[in-house]
Structure 1
Amino acid sequence: MFMQIVKKKAFICFMSLLLVLFWVLSCEKDNTKQKRTIEDLTGKMPKGMVWVQTKTFLQGAKATDKYAMQREKPAHKVKVDGFFIDKTEVTNAQFKAFVAATNYVTVAERKIDWNALKKQLPSGTQKPHDSLLQPGSLIFNKHVKAVVGMQNYAQWWTWKSGANWRHPQGPKSSIQGKDDFPVVHIAREDALAYCKWANRRLPTEAEWESAALGNETATIFTWGNKQSMLNKNANTWQGVFPTKNIDKDGFKYLAPVKKYPPNSIGLYDMLGNVWELTNDLYNVNYYKELDTSKIIHNPKGASTSYSPTNPYQVEYIIKGGSFLCHESYCASFRISAKMGTSADTGSDHVGFRTVATKEMLQVDK
């Protein structure tokens, strides 16, 4: 009898082990099958990119977003087809490789053409002194001690001759040792030139929001809806804007990429650090003119640009906010937030990342 009990227990243990082994092998098989299915759908995964699956989501301001602005309303459902997107903003190292291969000269490195510039200004605008028409770009004034009101942003922005992607703060600065920082002082023309070289393109606003949401469909931030997690997840401004930054998040100004946790699909710095260029024209009335009774498939944005604050300029949407964003000013560390930037201007807090479709990547093979 004793031996029969022992044999019975041994048999039960053996069968249990077989079941566990079968379950493990089944899981591995399922995971392999899932991985192969993703590869079948997307083709070869491009280096440094992430696949954003096709999905329907709520674009624009969420109902519980206390910082939502009128240009982000009304929220509306969109469906965006799957695409690849860079894990990070384009870095100095990547842009350096592009310039080395093409000898490209950015807009900020070229002398300003007054005849071209005056077409974007009110009629009768006087030509500024030649010293102000030298190559350069906008930089944030880190030495502001006090401001009068928050409407005049010229109080904390300075035109710096000699500022460009190689010299972000002016001629005496450099990007040496900063290969993993986002490239800045990039105008739309520069970003498009890089995209052409790399066989990529700029994302639409809807694609950008789809990517920022990750596996979610209606959250305010890339990590969810809790603003209390901001400092752990994004490089923004803490303290008193624009006079005092106490860098609770670890960085006072620009940070290298990948210093904060990625979103649910592995994308870094979709909020904060630098604003990101998109391909959509900036029009404050665009959402209000949409037919929100139906799901909009792959929206391409407004057909014309319109901003009451810059009516003479053609502006494009930038997304994600930057290291300068603070709740007392722009509060643009949100997925739905957007601003406009002129096509021919860069600054030290605007960069970009690129996207690609399966069809585009066929050219790479």
Structure 2
Amino acid sequence: MNTLKIVCYLPFVALIACCNNQKREESSKRTQDSLASCEKNLPGRFGVIRETSSFAANKATHDGMVLIQGGTFEMGAADNEGRKDEYPKHQVTLKSFWMDATEVTNASFAKFVAATGYVTTAERKPEWAEMAKQLPPGTPKPPDSVMVAASLVFYQPKTINGLNDASQWWRWVKGASWKHPKGLNSNITGKENNPVVQVSWDDAMAYCKWAGKRLPTEAEWEFAARGGLKNAKYPWGNEDIETDRPKANTWQGNFPVKNTVWDQFAGLAKVKSFKPNGYGLYDMAGNVWEWCSDWYRPDFYESLTGVTSNPKGPGNSYDPMEPTVPKKVVRGGSFMCNASYCKGYRVTSRMKTSVDTGLEHTGFRCVTNN
């Protein structure tokens, strides 16, 4: 599938792809998601100066965490539904670790901000000099009127022209941030138990540092998401997501123009709204994408041989569609995932996002070995 790149000024010039959007040959024996990318042609925000806060880290506690006993498992897709970057399946051995039972909530993130005075990426005005380093030479500077603090908000259109252009349902909104997920006219009052969103990878790392924890590696995340099941497609097993009862917060209906809300949620759900997996972890499928610590490379699995112990991912990022833009892995899918569009709620599904991009459907959870 050819990728059409569009330059957008809404308000930042760039592109981001959260799903695997490489050119690839489709095998007649494999059934894959219908799109090469679930966020293709999404205007991105790049080059915000890295967070340098020097606040002291707390000692990690295990409150609200689950102990995941270490072991060896087969990582990667074992069925015919995976994208190219989910293969080959390979053996991984992990040490035991603790993982948050839920995604980090608005209430928890608010405590962090109150204690540290931290200002998130979305709340800062972008620096053009930094942005330009990751854009094609000669890219014109956008007008100052659009160089403002903003973040990406999902907009449900009435009609669309195909599913190849995510800019039809994503918009940069001035003032959108973790405190105002949809813009300045929105807030998180009464949503303290919703997962925090509109947080960049930098923001998630800052929170983890304060909490005395860290982000999970991609291998830890997948091992935990499986909940002890071997080669299952989803955290609950192999039953289709819309069979019998709602199992996760995803999209039902015709994405993105109609959501039947069969699962009772049109957008974000508070944590613990669905049954946990076999390890007692909630929302390892759907609700929000979750940041991992690993850099993204589509060919990383191909470089592994034998049994890999505690892998931390590649040493650097490379996305062939945007080679100058550093990307980190996100896992688990979100409330926007639908089988006709992007089955990101599969336990092996790998997506990627620019480290300084926040979205309305991206959050995180923490782990620790201590």
Larger Rg: 1
Encode CA deviations 1:77-119: one digit per residue, 9 max, x unaligned.
1111100000000000000000010111101001111111111
Shift of 1:214: 1.6
Match of 1:57 among 58, 61, 73: 73
Q: CA separation in 2, counterparts of 1:338 and 1:130?
A: 35
Letter in 2 for 1:195: C
2:319 equivalent in structure 1: 307
Equivalence for 2:126: 112
Shift of 1:219: 1.5
Structure 1 residue 317: Cα displacement: 0.1
Does residue 47 of structure 1 match 2:63? yes
8 Å Cα contact 1:92-1:182 kept in structure 2: yes
Q: Which amino acid aligns with 2:130?
A: A
Q: CA deviation at 1:329?
A: 1.3
Task: Name the SS of the counterpart of 2:206 in structure 1.
Answer: helix
TM-score (norm 1): 0.83
**Corresponding residue number in structure 2 for 1:85:** 99
For residues 296-320 of structure 1, give each alpha carbon's deviation from its aligned partner in whole angstroms, at most 9, with x where no partner exists: 1111111221212222200000000
Q: Which residue of 2 aligns with 1:222?
A: 235
Show the counterpart of 1:275.
289
Q: Distance in 1 between matches of 2:85 and 2:341?
A: 16
1:30 corresponds in structure 2 to none
Counterpart in 2 of 1:181?
194
Task: Give distance in 1, aligned partners of 2:348 and 2:224.
Answer: 12
Does 2:338 align with 1:322?
no
What SS does the aligned partner of 1:89 have?
Answer: coil
Change (3 A) 1:330 1:229: closer
Equivalent residues in 2 for 1:121-136, closer than 5 Å: 121-136=135-150
TM-score w.r.t. the length of structure 2 is 0.82
CA offsets, 1:137-174, max 9 Å, x none? 001112x0111122211111100010000000000000
Any conservation in 1 of the 2:241–2:247 contact (CA below 8 Å)?
no
Task: Give the drift of 1:286.
Answer: 0.9
Distance in 1, matches of 2:144 and 2:104, equals 33
Q: Please identify which structure carries the higher helix content.
A: 1
Question: Hey, what's the Cα distance between the residues in 1 that align with 2:134 and 2:61?
Answer: 42
Which residue of structure 2 aligns with residue 7 of structure 1? none
Distance 2:108 2:64 in 1: 11
1:57 and 1:218 in contact (8 A); partners too = no
Which residue matches 1:198? Answer: 211
Per-residue deviation, residues 4-23 of structure 1 (Å, max 9, x unmatched)? xxxxxxxxxxxxxxxxxxxx
Structure 1 spans left out of the alignment, 5+ residues: 1-43, 359-365
The equivalent residue for 2:27 is: none
- For 1:16-35, list aligned pairs within 5 A: none
Structure 1: which amino acid aligns with 2:162?
G
Letter in 2 for 1:169: K
How far apart are 1:217 and its partner, in Å?
Answer: 3.2
Deviation of the 1:45 alpha carbon: 7.3
Mapped to 2, the partners of 1:272 and 1:101 lie a distance apart of 30
- Which whole-Å CA distance do the structure 2 matches of 1:169 and 1:290 have between them? 41
Amino acid at match of 1:83: F
Secondary structure, aligned partner of 1:120: coil
Q: Distance in 2 between matches of 1:330 and 1:178?
A: 27
% identical aligned pairs: 48
Q: How far did residue 349 of structure 1 move?
A: 0.2
SS of 2:133 mapped into structure 1: helix
Shift of 1:131: 2.0
Give the ranges of 4+ consecutive aligned residues of structure 1 lying more than 6 Å apart after TM superposition: none
Q: 2:354 aligns with which of 320, 327, 342?
A: 342
SS at 2:246's partner residue? helix
Q: CA deviation at 1:193?
A: 0.9
Deviations 1:41-78 (A, max 9, x none): xxx97100000001111111122xx4311011111111
Query: What's 1:244 paired with?
Result: 258
Mapped pair 1:96 → 2:79: no
Cα distance in structure 1, aligned partners of 2:242 and 2:252: 13
SS of the equivalent of 1:50 reads strand
Q: 1:136 to 1:118 in 2, by over 3 A?
A: same
Q: Which residue identity is paired with 2:78? A: K
Distance in 2 (alpha carbons) for counterparts of 1:121 and 1:228: 39
Unpaired segments ≥5 residues, structure 2 = 1-59
CA contact (8 A) 2:249 2:334 kept: yes
What number of residue pairs does the alignment pair up? Answer: 310
Match for residue 248 of structure 2? 234
TM-aligned CA deviation for residue 122 of structure 1: 1.0
Give the equivalent residue in structure 1 for 2:41. none
How many Å separate the matches in 2 of 1:205 and 1:132?
A: 35
